[in-house]
């Protein structure tokens, strides 16, 4: 099982200058079900695939509101995500209390990232095994950020995390030039199309009102984060016109790379599934 003698402590550099424990924590992010985020000049949209671990279990929460103007999609260890999202809520409340206005999204994300970094430098902690897509608006417009267990922060126009997310990223990269001018509806469609790419090719898996959640926030008068779940998602899905078979979108099917080639995360799926939404 073990790959080298340098991979058991977070405080140990490999001879190449890598931190393998941190890289393994990044693997945990890939084990959660997929989440997608896209950002236009006016809107940010999050879309998530929710797993249910048994027929008797509720589908897990993948998108959580943080403050009026910020929402987060999580992929990785759910309990770690809860710690971070709680902290984010506290910071937003604190900012409102102190300054009387909404927390700038970038600053919130960097607070969380600094928290993640601290966990990579002491042996008494393990890195947080969760990746966040943070969607929010502030004075400087709409923002989509990604945080990593390493403490790295990315400021993006689109991103997908979680299981089989490579195919969603491929979709996003191919369409990224369209995002900036996209309308609210078009942006939601892009997010759901990308999310649809992450589905296993098995016939029985498809996006539905049960297993899908969408979050939207926009600039303008209503700077609030809206979360659509359950029956509210259905109209959004209906507007997408997915191919019946699921898996690969018709318009891109010819150019689609074989999924398993780009997907290194698939063999991890069996482990830790109980903990990863």
Question: Under the rule (CB under 8 A), what is the footprint of another protein?
Answer: 3-6, 9-19, 97-101, 104, 106-107, 110, 113-114, 116-118, 120-124, 138-140, 150-159, 169, 172-173, 176
H-run or E-run covering 260: helix 259-262
Task: Tell me which residue has tokens 């403490």.
Answer: 151
164 or 169, CB closer to another protein? 169
* Shortest distance (Å) from residue 184 CB to another protein: 20
* Shortest distance (Å) from residue 94 CB to another protein: 10
71 or 151, CB closer to another protein? 151
45 or 113, CB closer to another protein? 113
Beta bridge partners of 36: 47, 160
DSSP 66: E
Q: Which two tokens stand for residue 56?
A: 């008797």
58 or 154, CB closer to another protein? 154
* Shortest distance (Å) from residue 188 CB to another protein: 18
* Shortest distance (Å) from residue 173 CB to another protein: 5
109 or 236, CB closer to another protein? 109
Q: Which two tokens stand for residue 188?
A: 């939601």
For the chain, the farthest-separated pair of C-alpha atoms sits apart, in whole angstroms, at 56
* Shortest distance (Å) from residue 217 CB to another protein: 17
Burial 135-173 (b: 16+ CB within 10 A, else e): bbbbeeebbbbbbbbbbebeebbbbbbbbbbbbbbbbbe
Q: Are 190 and 157 in contact (CB under 8 A)?
A: no
Neighbouring C-beta atoms of residue 244, cutoff 10 Å: 7
Q: Are 144 and 38 in contact (CB under 8 A)?
A: yes
Q: Which two tokens stand for residue 64?
A: 């959580």
50 or 189, CB closer to another protein? 189
* Shortest distance (Å) from residue 232 CB to another protein: 28
């Amino acid at each position: 099982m073990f790959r080298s003698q340098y991979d058991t402590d977070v405080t140990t550099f490999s001879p190449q200058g890598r931190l393998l424990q941190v890289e393994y924590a990044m693997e945990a992010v890939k084990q959660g079900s997929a989440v997608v985020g896209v950002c236009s000049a006016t809107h940010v949209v999050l879309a998530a695939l929710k797993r249910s671990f048994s027929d008797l279990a509720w589908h897990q929460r993948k998108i959580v509101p943080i403050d009026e103007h910020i929402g987060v999609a999580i992929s990785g260890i759910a309990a770690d995500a809860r710690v971070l999202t709680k902290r984010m809520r506290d910071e937003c409340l604190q900012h409102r209390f102190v300054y009387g206005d909404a927390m700038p999204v970038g600053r919130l994300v960097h607070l969380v990232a600094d928290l993640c970094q601290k966990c990579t430098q002491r042996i008494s902690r393990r890195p947080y095994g969760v990746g966040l897509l943070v969607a929010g608006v502030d004075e400087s417009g709409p923002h989509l950020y990604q945080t990593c267990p390493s403490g790295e922060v990315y400021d993006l126009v689109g991103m997908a995390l979680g299981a089989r997310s490579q195919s969603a990223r491929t979709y996003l990269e191919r369409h990224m030039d369209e995002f900036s001018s996209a309308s609210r509806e078009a942006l939601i469609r892009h997010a759901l199309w990308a999310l649809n790419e992450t589905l296993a090719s098995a016939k029985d898996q498809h996006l539905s009102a049960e297993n899908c959640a969408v979050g939207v926030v926009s600039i303008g008068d209503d700077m609030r984060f809206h979360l659509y779940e359950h029956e509210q998602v259905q109209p959004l899905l209906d507007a997408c016109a997915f191919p019946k078979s699921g898996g690969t979108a018709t318009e891109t099917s010819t150019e689609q790379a074989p999924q398993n080639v780009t997907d290194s995360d698939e063999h991890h799926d069996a482990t830790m599934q109980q903990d990863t939404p």
